[in-house]
A and B are shown apart, each in its own frame.
Chain A
Amino acid sequence: MKIAVLSGKGGTGKTLVSVNLAAVADKGGYFDCDVEEPNGHLFLKPSLIGEEEVTSLKPVVDMDRCDGCKVCVTACVYKALAYIPGELMIFDEICHACGLCTYLCPQQALKETKRVIGTIRRGERGSLSVHTGKMRIGESTGVPIIKKLLKKLDDDLSIIDSPPGSGCLVLETIEHADYCLLVAEPTMFGAQNLALVHELTRVMNKPAGVLLNKVEDGLNPSELYAKEHDLKILASLPYDSYAALESSNAELLVERSEKYRTFFLELLKEVVDEATLAAQR
């Protein structure tokens, strides 16, 4: 059972919900796919089991062979190569590692070598395994890191903590999910971005439900959106300055308060039930 936690908008509480769900589950895996800004490990404090590098390929040139024909420069759609007399410049951060330039070079002056674009750390917290992907600063895409991170997904309960937005990283994350838990704030911004990510789950044909977070008295545009668009509201968490303070210090609410422990146990059950039902449909 693979549960992806998403939001569209940043800062709605994806990580807070993911780590507390994983902590009450106390088994299976937690996968931090927010590889640009991974924070789940700050809360779960896993003991480190292993660390591996994630590599991509990059072309390197042998200038003794390069005759300046510029076939590679012309063919690269990403504009990752440029030729000035006597030098072929290769911009690693722009390169998508497609391999085309190396294949096309008539002089066989290009070959590919590995370069590190990020790391994956795997750790344990009791019987929960904690997987964290982290992108090297300055890289443009974390997609290969997420791909490698999620290779460890198995049939156990897995909580996948997604990056914000609705772009390529999020697509990669929910590709594997059986169910999407959307976390939304009670603002017009929250509702707008909830609509985007809800639409994405529909395009990807994934069942979804929403958790309303930081709920205050008064208008909740996210709640209105959910009701109008037949999106099931799984639970509602009121804004709580105690929870905000504990979470700012990267404490797990389920360990600090019986009230929150009960809440997340019930939410986990609800999410698993919903996902099971959706799988049978």
Chain B
Amino acid sequence: MADVHNEDMILSLNAALSKVREALDTTVKIEQNPSMSVSDRDANVVIVKAAIANATSTLQNCRSDTYEGAAAPDPSITAFSITVPGTAVAGSGPGTFVATVDTHDHNGVPIEVGTRVNATWSSSDSGIVSVNSSTGSYMPVSQGNITVTARYTDGSVASAPMVITD
């Protein structure tokens, strides 16, 4: 079972509290309006009971028994990937390699997909493709095949082939 952190409990309790408030406000509305029609009153009673059922369900599923009493860990990276053009022409204009990560939270719920990040870039042969290691900006220099490699700050590595033609 996933650990429950402060943020999770605040969300659950806030949701439950919101429903209890709704039930209470609706009850007071009925109480303060004795001339309310029977159909309106019945409709509001249904709202109160539904709101309480919702609050109950939220508390039932809040998993407070596994509450950690701590902030949630930082999001984890599930995938580090790079975008490299498969081919380029020698002497053509510069381009930029792109690195992205996918992240999920401590409960495995995806947070971001394809978020662009900085990485450290290298070319297996800088005589064929030169690359700026920090920006990913590259220049196809001469014909040949190379492998482009990127390393992310967490140690993840991704690589892709690239063919340079005349």
Q: Do A and B bind each other?
A: no
